[in-house]
Amino acid sequence: MNVRSKLASVVALSGLLMLAVASAFAAAPAATLPVGTAPRGVVVLPNNDIAVANGGSNNVTVYRGGCTPACSYAQIAGSPFPVGTGPTSIARGHIKSTTGAQDLVTANFNSNDVTVLLNAAGTFATRFNVPAGPSPETVVVADFNNDGFDDIAVTNATGAAPSVTILRNLGNCAALHSAACFAPTTVSLAVPGLVLLPWGLAVGHFQSASSVDLVVSNYYSSDLGGHSAAVLFNNGSGAFTVNAYYNAGFYTPYVSAGRDTGGGQTVDDFVVSQYGGALYVFLNNGSGSFTGPVTPLPNAGTTPLAITHGQLTGNGRPDVVVTNYTAAAMTILTGAAGGVFGSPNTITVGKYPDAVAVSDLGNGSPDIVVVNQGDNNIMIFLGPF
């Protein structure tokens, strides 16, 4: 599949209404760093390392450094690290141990697997592949069964058998270094008579503050989007079932999760961004069912694609960052007290921005990392915003 044909995004957030306020942001990148060919995903590790999944060169670029306050980054020894074919996303977590340095996982669209890269003394030379379903697109990592080890979930973007693969971590990856340290299960998303293409995936606390649930966005739903979002409930032991489908319109691939701590909420909502430029908010009633979509906010910029959240302003309210794929830009929308959702601020980035992450890179405030697929680089934008 042509990666430039992707047509929307989804983010899971908390307590967002859609009123506009003015705000301003710095527009110049603090650093621009080269990566591999056709980069598709990015994640920031706790030590400020930046890891990028390169879909064209089938590897992961890892930069070490920080911004304190000036940005200084260099690739680590061994970078880039080979992975499977056509990596489309990347996540981090505790795979080989319950504490300490975090490992990396990529979803490999063309080789139908995920690659686990184990972190050993700050490098990722030890790696192995684990079979997933057909055309794995988005990977997330979280502890689904509360045993201390992080597990893996990945969407399988095929209309023939729409599903999510769950890879339960058996706790022995440090010794085995193989697929044998995971127990796979499949959660079917199939609906009789419909064609669904699962694409985006996010971890969210939907049932309660302690539940570790999932939300899937379907790139395509043949009933005019009637099943374009699916909420999967966790039974507490890492077994997932589809709780409900929601109508978010056509073309809704990507997902992230967050919480409105400033508003006192303990469960997550989710927000859908469509290629036409609107955001659609689904509000959690407190126990995992959702009202929505709320009246769309039509100011997510031109052709919004990847979307994420972060508390960019420090008020506890989730803010939204969305890449505008064909416009070589990103749009920032801020949350404020009383459920106010900020007016758009558009910042020029590189060609075909395909992924975005928010993290404090060492300067004491949330920063933004954007992946430019068309330029084979990443850009860093420093807060405060």
Give the Cα-Cα-Cα angle 141, 324, 365 (nearest 5 degrees): 60
Note whether 371 and 40 are within 8 A (CB): yes
Structure token digits, residue 363:
């300067």
pLDDT at residue 7, as a whole number: 39
Instruction: Please say if the pLDDT value at position 93 is more than 90.
Output: yes
| DSSP designation for 301 | -
Report the pLDDT value the prediction gives residue 11, as an integer from 0 to 100.
54
Contacts of residue 237, Cβ cutoff 8 Å, sequence gap at least 6 = 145
Model confidence pLDDT, tens digit, residues 267-297: 777 665 566 677 777 778 888 998 877 656 6
pLDDT in tens, 111-137: 999 999 999 999 999 999 999 999 999
**What's residue 23's pLDDT?**
41
- pLDDT band of residue 21 (cuts 50, 70, 90) is very low
Q: What is the pLDDT of residues 25-48, one digit of tens each?
A: 446 899 999 999 999 999 999 999
What rounded mean pLDDT belongs to the chain?
Answer: 86
Q: What is the pLDDT of residues 292-343, one digit of tens each?
A: 776 566 678 888 888 888 888 777 778 889 899 999 999 988 876 544 567 7
The whole model's pTM is what?
A: 0.93
pLDDT in tens, 157-211: 987 889 999 999 999 999 999 999 999 999 999 999 999 999 999 999 999 989 9
Segment 356-364 shows an average pLDDT of 96
Partner residues linked to 177 by β-bridges:
none
Q: Measuring CA to CA, which residue among 86, 85, 78, 125 is closest to residue 104?
A: 125
Q: What is the mean pLDDT of residues 245-265?
A: 64
Position 6 pLDDT exceeds 50: no
